[in-house]
Amino acid sequence: MNAAASPLHLSIATDCPETRIPRELYGHFAEHLGTCIYGGIWVGEDSAIPHTRGLRTDVLTALKQLSIPVLRWPGGCFADEYHWQDGIGPERRAMINNHWGGGIDSNQFGTHEFMDLVEELGCDAYIAGNVGSGSVREMQAWVEYLTADVDSPLVRQRRANGREQPWRVRYFGVGNENWACGGNMRPEFYADEYRRYQTYVRHHDPDHPIFRIACGPNRDDYRWTEVLMERAAAHMDGLSLHYYCLPTDDWNDQGNATGFGAADWFGMFQRGTHMEELIVQHRAIMDRFDPDQRVALIVDEWGAWYNVEPGTHPRFLYQQNTLRDALLAAQHLHIFHRHRDRVRMANIAQTVNVLQAMILTDGPRMLRTPTYHVFEMLKVHQDALHLPITLSPVPEYTHEGRTLPAIDASASRAADGAVNLSLINFDPAHEHPITLSLPPGSLAHATGRGRVLTAAAMDAHNTFAEPDHVVPVANDSVQATADGALAFNLPAKSVALLTFS
Ligand code: AHR
């Protein structure tokens, strides 16, 4: 590989006002879709696959290493077809999963199993309620069943089903994509429905009020945001945003997860930059109605969406995951860091076997994807203090006349004082030498440790035969320069994490 011509200088300011990177930006989403829940997370108590009360032990172990802060469930589009009472107690009522392929969902995985998963992972629950085909009473009852601690019939039912104490549900979504699969509503109608439904999402534990999230826009539907903010902002804590990246930007042919060329590599990161544009535009509308930034923008669905793998069910959204996805994940996490004052939660879609997954399974086999490794590497930023960065001059990455900044970076200071710097090089052909400066005195004798995720091929990925083909590798090549700076060569098409302590 040739080194790019222009040297890049990066300086991290550690002497400026520090604000926290909310750990919830590293949130996840698991839907009753394809084999995300059934087979991927839940195998049931009679399975020969090792499990913990029906939850796959291998998947649990891998997910625990990500320090997942929050998990959204049961959908997605499934949420507005889900009737929670079918999924509790000894007799479960099966249902058709109409939206995702028309198969039968046994409802063996329900409220108790999800809350068990959340407690195993040590994360917060984000439950999406049913507005599209549900009722106010049904939503009200679910919240009572989950969180009340009184002697009501619903609480007695919960106790009879094995859970004495209420659960803590931190986040509750009032519907999902109500502009489409969640009821094809107009924003004016949904705003009124939202106001009505959220009234009954009661705070049974006044010390832990539930954070209520309204269904927000699809990508650049700015009118939806405007109407919701104007008519219902006073009744919400968060407004969601959904945006998926397709390398082709064509829903009839999304492009393939593997075997792609340079155009689709570039195209993907160009779509990735659009996430930042969307956040900027939506937050500008929010600022008009909520200048104090009380309402959070919650990006509760994001990630790569490709054509499904050949031979798999078209509605199961099973796709491979490559080095390109790892860089896309890092690109999004950096964008969320920059907008952390308004964007306070984000949930990648989806945890296992669906879209941009952390984990793929095949019967008893399991692998961690390149996206998993980025979430594991960058978890050091969770709840750390954000440190502003200056990069100059930012090298360009050009493809057929179109240009993107080749490098992106984000830094934070951890509770133990260590400074973590994550770097992305989108350029598939050039490494970039970087000189780094830390403010004098702040980390006077800093030593740098590094980990780099890269591979020879743009579509390098892990398979069940070779599950560790793409993994982060230790890299201790940070060198002190004669003038007291630090030097590092950022490999082509890579994500790096450097730690200075
Ligand atoms: O994540 C897959 C689907 O994408 C979700 O069910 C839906 O909300 C979105 O359209």
pLDDT, tens digit (0-9, with 9 covering 90-100), for 426-439 = 999 999 999 988 76
C-beta separation of 24 from 344 below 8 A: yes
Q: Which of 382, 399, 423 lies at the terminal end of a domain, its last residue?
A: 382
pLDDT band for 49, please (50, 70, 90 cuts): very high
Active site residue 466: no
Q: Could you tell me if residue 159 is inside a domain?
A: yes
Per residue in 170-223, pLDDT (tens digit) is 999 999 999 999 999 999 999 999 999 999 999 999 999 999 999 999 999 999
Q: CATH number for the domain including 416? A: 2.60.40.1180
Q: In this model, does residue 323 exceed pLDDT 50?
A: yes
Q: Looking at residue 442, what is its pLDDT?
A: 55
Determine if ligand 1 sits within 6 Å of the CB of residue 177: yes
- In this structure, what token pair is assigned to residue 497? 């994490």
Q: Could you tell me if residue 66 is inside a domain?
A: yes
| Ligand 1: nearest atom to the Cα of 177 | 8
Q: In this model, does residue 354 exceed pLDDT 50?
A: yes
Q: Looking at residue 8, what is its pLDDT?
A: 86
List, as own/partner pairs, every contact residues 154-159 make where C-beta atoms lie below 8 angstroms and the sequence separation is at least 24, other chains included.
Answer: 157/88, 157/89, 158/88
Q: In this model, does residue 3 exceed pLDDT 70?
A: no
Query: Atom 2 of ligand 1 has which residue's CA nearest to it?
Result: 76
**Are 361 and 221 in the same domain?**
yes
Q: Which of 331, 363, 382 lies at the terminal end of a domain, its last residue?
A: 382
Q: Say whether 304 sits in a helix, a strand or coil.
A: strand
Determine if ligand 1 sits within 6 Å of the CB of residue 130: no
Average pLDDT of the segment spanning 227-233: 98
Q: Looking at residue 500, what is its pLDDT?
A: 87
Domain of 80 in residue numbering reads as: 24-382
Q: Are strands 55-56 and 19-20 parallel, antiparallel or unpaired?
A: unpaired
More confident residue, 1 or 479: 479
Determine if ligand 1 sits within 6 Å of the CB of residue 349: yes
Query: Atom 4 of ligand 1 has which residue's CA nearest to it?
Result: 76
Q: Could you tell me if residue 84 is inside a domain?
A: yes
Task: Pick from 301, 313, 315, 355 the residue to mutate for probing ligand 1's pocket: most ligand atoms within 8 Å of its CB.
Answer: 301
Place of tokens 């390398």: 247
Residue of 81, 113, 177, 193 marked active site: 177
Question: CA dist 184 to 14, 100, 180, 413, Å?
Answer: 48, 17, 4, 44
For 499, other C-beta atoms within 10 Å of its C-beta total 18
Q: Which of 366, 382, 398 lies at the terminal end of a domain, its last residue?
A: 382
Nearest to 125 by CA among 444, 345, 395: 345
**Are 444 and 301 in the same domain?**
no
SS (H, E, C) 226-284: HHHHHHHHHHCCEEEEEEEECCCCCCCCCCCCCCCCHHHHHHHHHHHHHHHHHHHHHHH
Nearest to 83 by CA among 67, 99, 71, 94: 94
Q: In this model, does residue 495 exceed pLDDT 80?
A: yes
**Are 364 and 434 in the same domain?**
no
Active site residue 177: yes
**Are 303 and 334 in the same domain?**
yes
Task: Please count the structural domains in the chain.
Answer: 2
**Are 329 and 414 in the same domain?**
no
**Are 171 and 225 in the same domain?**
yes
Question: CA dist 350 to 40, 131, 181, 372, 460, Å?
Answer: 11, 22, 18, 11, 20
Q: Could you tell me if residue 399 is inside a domain?
A: yes
Q: Could you tell me if residue 343 is inside a domain?
A: yes
Q: Looking at residue 444, what is its pLDDT?
A: 46
Q: CATH number for the domain including 71? A: 3.20.20.80
Q: Could you tell me if residue 2 is inside a domain?
A: no
**Are 337 and 463 in the same domain?**
no
Question: Of the ranges 29-33, 232-236, 417-421, which one carries the lowest mean pLDDT score?
Answer: 417-421
Sign of the C-alpha dihedral computed for residues 263, 264, 266 and 270 taken in this order: positive
**Are 354 and 445 in the same domain?**
no
d(CA 370, CA 435): 27
Q: Looking at residue 347, what is its pLDDT?
A: 98
Average pLDDT of the segment spanning 7-34: 89
Place of tokens 């329900």: 110
Please count the residues of the chain. 501
**Are 299 and 186 in the same domain?**
yes
Determine if ligand 1 sits within 6 Å of the CB of residue 76: yes
Q: 251 CB contacts (<8 Å, ≥6 apart)? A: none
Q: Looking at residue 193, what is its pLDDT?
A: 98
Determine if ligand 1 sits within 6 Å of the CB of residue 75: yes
Q: In this model, does residue 485 exceed pLDDT 90?
A: no
d(CA 394, CA 396): 6
CA of 33 to the centre of ligand 1 (A): 9
C-beta separation of 262 from 369 below 8 A: no
Q: Say whether 104 sits in a helix, a strand or coil.
A: strand
Q: Looking at residue 41, what is its pLDDT?
A: 98
d(CA 315, CA 319): 11
Q: Looking at residue 439, what is its pLDDT?
A: 61
Q: In this model, does residue 102 exceed pLDDT 80?
A: yes
CA of 451 to the centre of ligand 1 (A): 33
**Are 46 and 175 in the same domain?**
yes
Q: Could you tell me if residue 486 is inside a domain?
A: yes
**Are 149 and 292 in the same domain?**
yes
Q: 389 CB contacts (<8 Å, ≥6 apart)? A: 10, 11, 12, 13, 409, 410, 411, 421
Q: Looking at residue 1, what is its pLDDT?
A: 37
**Are 401 and 461 in the same domain?**
yes
**Run of H or E including 115:** helix 111-121
Q: Could you tell me if residue 141 is inside a domain?
A: yes
CA of 77 to the centre of ligand 1 (A): 6
CA of 74 to the centre of ligand 1 (A): 11
